[in-house]
Amino acid sequence: MPFSQQPVQQPAEEKPDASPTLMGDYTVKKDISEMSLAFVGAGKMAQAMAKGFLAAGVVKADHITATAPSCRSQPTLEDIGCQFTHNNKEAVENSDIIFLSVKPHILPGVLQEIAPVVTKRHLMVSVAAGVPLQFLEEKLPPKSRVMRVMPNTPCVVRQGASVYVPGSHVEKEDSEIIKSLLSSLGYCSESNEGMISAVTGLAGSGPAYMIQKRGFCSDTYKDPVYVAIGLGGMGQAYAFTAIDALADGGVKMGLPRELSIKLAAQTLLGASKMVLETGKHPMQLKDDVCSPGGTTIYAIHKLESGGFRNLLIDAVEGACLRAEAIAKKAK
C-alpha cells in the first residue's frame, strides 16, 4: 500500500507491510528475502551459511555475494547461484548485511579496507572467533550497526547451533533480522558477549568433536549382531554421555545449563546430519572445521591427548564383548 493511502493511525494488531522502515537517516528493509547479503571471506563457514540460507529459501541466490582473494571457493559459490568477487569494498557497498567471515588475524586489515564505504545502511555481522564488539566498533565508522555471531558448520544442513550478540548501536529490528536468518539454519539464541567464548568451545568447534571418532575393526567378532549391539545398540548411551559432558563444559565456562544442553544436543544432531547427508568422510568434515591455528584444532589436540577416539572404540568393543558373554551364558 503506498504511503499516501495509509491511514494516519494503523490498528495495533495490524501486521506491518514489507515497505521500508525509516531508522534515523537510513532505511531498513523488513522483507528479508529482498535483502542483499555479502560474505567478506568465502571459507567453509561462509559457504555453509550461504547454502543453508538458500536451502531455507530465506534469501535469493543472486542476492548473495562472497569475496575472497583467491578463486578457490569461486566454483562452489557460483554453482549455487551466488556472486563472487575479489573486491571487498564493492561487495559491501552493494549489500545490506555484511558477514565478516575472514579469520581473526585477517580481520583488522579487512576492517581498515572497508571502513570508508560502511554507512548506516549496513548491518555488520562478525563471525570471527575472539574478536570483541568494542574492537569492531572502534575500527568502523561511529555508530556502526555491529553484531557478533557464533554459528557452526551444520548450518549447511539447517541443523546449526548459533548465538548472536548485538552491539551498542544495533536496533531491535536488526536483532530480529539476524534471529530470523539464523533460525532458518537451526537453533539460535541471543546471548551476551561474556558467554560467546564458551559457545565457541561448545558449539562453534563442537561438530569436530562429534565426528572425531572412527569405527573399529569388526573382523575379530564372528557374529555381526554383537558388533551391531556394541556400535548401534549402545550408541544412544554414548551420545547422551557426550551431550552431558559437552554441556558440563559449557557450564564450567559460564553458560546456563539449559543453553548448554540445547547447544550440545543440537551440535550432535547437526554433525550427524552432515555425515549422513553430505557423503563426506567424517575426518574430512573435521578437517573442514579446523582452521590453521584456530580454536577447533586446539580442542582436537586436547581430545587426542586424552585418547578420545580410543575410548570410543573401547566402549564399542566392550559392549560387543559383553553381549557375546551374555549369549554364551544363555546357551
**Across the chain, what does the average pLDDT equal?**
85
Please name the residue that has the C-alpha cell 537517516: 25
For 144-187, the pLDDT digits (tens) are 999 999 999 999 999 999 999 999 999 999 999 999 999 999 99
Euclidean distance between CA atoms 153 and 207, whole angstroms: 7
Q: Which of 272, 298, 303, 304 is nearest to 285 (CA)?
A: 272
Question: What pLDDT does 28 receive?
Answer: 54
Question: Is the pLDDT at 48 greater than 50, yes or no?
Answer: yes
Segment (H or E) for 139: helix 133-139
Question: What pLDDT does 212 receive?
Answer: 64
Euclidean distance between CA atoms 290 and 152, whole angstroms: 12
* Greatest CA separation for the chain: 87
Question: Is the pLDDT at 15 greater than 50, yes or no?
Answer: no
3-state secondary structure of 179: helix
Question: What pLDDT does 323 receive?
Answer: 78
Count how many residues are written for the chain: 331
Single-letter amino acid code for the residue at 326: I
Residue 23 sits at φ, ψ, to 5 deg, of -130, 100
Task: Look at 321 and 229; give whichever has higher pLDDT.
Answer: 321
3-state secondary structure of 272: helix
Structural domains of the chain in order of their starting residue, each with its CATH number: 15-190 (3.40.50.720), 201-330 (1.10.3730.10)
Question: What pLDDT does 320 receive?
Answer: 79
Which of 18-22, 34-38, 283-287, 312-316 has the lowest average pLDDT? 18-22
Question: Is the pLDDT at 66 greater than 60, yes or no?
Answer: yes
Q: Which of 149, 327, 188, 195 is nearest to 270 (CA)?
A: 188
Question: Is the pLDDT at 271 greater than 60, yes or no?
Answer: yes
Pairing status of strand 26-28 against strand 21-23: antiparallel
Helix H, strand E, coil C: the string for 47-106 is HHHHHHHHHHCCCCHHHEEEECCCCCCHHHHHHCCCEEECCHHHHHHCCCEEEECCCCCC
What does pTM read for this prediction? 0.81
Single-letter amino acid code for the residue at 116: P
- CA 113 to chain centroid, in Å, comes to 25
Task: Look at 317 and 117; give whichever has higher pLDDT.
Answer: 117
Question: What pLDDT does 9 receive?
Answer: 40
> Which residues does residue 64 pair with via DSSP β-bridges, in sequence order?
37
pLDDT-based confidence at residue 115 (cuts at 50, 70, 90): very high
Task: Look at 174 and 219; give whichever has higher pLDDT.
Answer: 174
Question: What pLDDT does 127 receive?
Answer: 97
Which of 70-84, 96-110, 197-211 has the lowest average pLDDT? 197-211
Single-letter amino acid code for the residue at 91: A
Can you tell me the mean pLDDT for 15-33? 51
Question: Is the pLDDT at 214 greater than 60, yes or no?
Answer: no
Question: What pLDDT does 322 receive?
Answer: 81
Radius of gyration, alpha carbons of the chain: 23
pLDDT-based confidence at residue 7 (cuts at 50, 70, 90): very low
Which of 80-94, 124-138, 159-173, 208-222 has the lowest average pLDDT? 208-222
